[in-house]
Structure 1
Amino acid sequence: MSGRQTNIPARRISSGTTSEREAMNDNSYGHIRYNTDEHYLEIYHSDSNNPTGWRDIITNNKDEIDLSGLLVGDDASFNVFLKVPDISLNTIHALDGNVITLTEDVYINGGLMISDICVNNIKALNGGKIIINSDLSINNKLSGTEASFNMISVHQLFGNSPIEVMDDISFNGDISCNNIVFSGVIKNAAGEEVGAALDVALMKDSVVDTSFEKISWLRFDKDSHFDLSDGGGIDSSYLDIKITSFGDISAHVSDLSINFIDLSNNFHDLSDTYYELSGAVTKNITSISDMSAHVSDLSINFIDLSKNFHDLSGTYYELSG
């Protein structure tokens, strides 16, 4: 190992290769030497983090720096990259308003607390679940193949295909829709089947619309006997109305006498309106000889009409005037 040269105006220390260093048997704490293989100064010392004894003491312009056992009591600035197998930090922030870019996967074993995050994809590891313990606000669309909620409050809910509710659904307020179809039984809160007594309000701009022209496809099942069949309109005309029975409706029917029209002026004297047919009969009948062979028994074709006659003796109008 070379010694100190006195002809150079500088302090010189011993130098040598790594193999020469390993061959030394008189090492003592505090020795400093220059490693000609690695081109750095190294010091011989011993602590719990470096049992080998020799360590590089110059870190400038190094591609990799061993920080094991190093305690930095103040700020540390890295102008290029910092590569470490393990790091524990209380705070990470970007300098000069820049962003922190993570180019590879990041694993967080504990909690992640952030005020703002932008991600392209979030998924749970190992088939687990993503649990959100507080409010979740979504300013744009939320789409998914399956979702489960205990309670949901939305302004608008729509789907590219029909939204199917597999279990019971309860509405505490109003339902407003353009078209609704029930394939099963409609029941009230008591579990009773609802028929024609179902209270249906037709809404327009949050106001009840009572015009009949808006009642079009309002239908119930066959047991309710209530079917407009799209026959309704402003004039309240229907294609078919089926009434099974009438009870005493005298208390519900107002005086209808004002709806009857006097038809007495619509009768005309027809006594002078007749035709003489005697000549036409003798002219057009040439022979009425024996037709018994051509006339079958017609007795079975006669219908007893006696029950269809009514006594009209008290129903007449005085037309003499």
Structure 2
Amino acid sequence: MSSSTQSRRPLYEGGPAVPPLALGSWNTWDRMGADEAVAMIRRAVELEAGFFDVAYYNMGPHAENSRTDILFGQALRDSGVPRGDVVLCGKLWLWDWPNVSFRAQLEESLQRAQLDRFDVLVVGDYMTAPDVPALVAEVDALIADGLVDAWGINNWRIEHTRQALDVAAQEGLAAPRFAQLKYGIARRAMAEGEAYGPLFDDGSLSLQASDVFEGGILAGRLVPERKIGADVGGIREQIAAIYPEVQRIAERFAVSPAALGVAFCLANPAVSNVLFGASRISQLEQNHAGLALARERGAEVRDALSHLQVDRGVRADGAW
């Protein structure tokens, strides 16, 4: 077994082990030419990053990225990579749900990417509380119909995540199996604190770390060139201020700041994989160095970065 394969962990209890690196689709595939996208997919599979988040960007604040599933689907077909060699994660949104049903979103996303199913899916974040029992039932129907195997949540408030777990248990429905949360060197409170921490500790959920680089800030792009995720708690200015120290520590470990961020996350046993955006193969290759660093010096990395958490005073229950 290769060292990279040994880095794989199940995305959910009882599920197949997945690549430790995952590629997002926000402002990525639409920034590459066709040949570059094909090369990215092939290289991702080689570098244990063959987990692709294929988001449905057709509504709300994400509509401007609406061609990503089309572009990704074409690149995947042109790459010649067998479907069984990749893990595909769909994403559903609550911005206009239930007016636009999950089934309608999923089927449109599959059609646009010319796929027949996703392996897993994530139900995205929200600004107003969703009807959790109805939501769980609708996702369960998609799983029962074979369109997807399992599902997770994206930056939900902990009360709604626990409600979904309870409803699923009471009704015999498919429960969320993983949580895609903002998590990284500076922003740790929600994933490691008393909100989600116990669910990771007891195996109810696993963690998919996302927004690890804070829109690129902790990878060295202090002035992001693209729209980036929400700044929960209004702490991004403080996060930017710690970058020189992150860079200094990365140099000590002979990796890029981005690879250091990947290693920090993977050194947490709750983390199944790390989701990040990459529009150049060089970025992917730099981040891949975080795998070996986590495996060989993970505890040392986390100790070296222990003083850089910025969100200690921020609400840790998932509230936006």
What TM-score results when the alignment is normalised by the length of structure 2?
Answer: 0.15
CA radius of gyration, larger in: 1
For normalisation by structure 1, the TM-score amounts to 0.15
- Higher strand proportion (structure 1 or 2): 2
More helix by share: 2
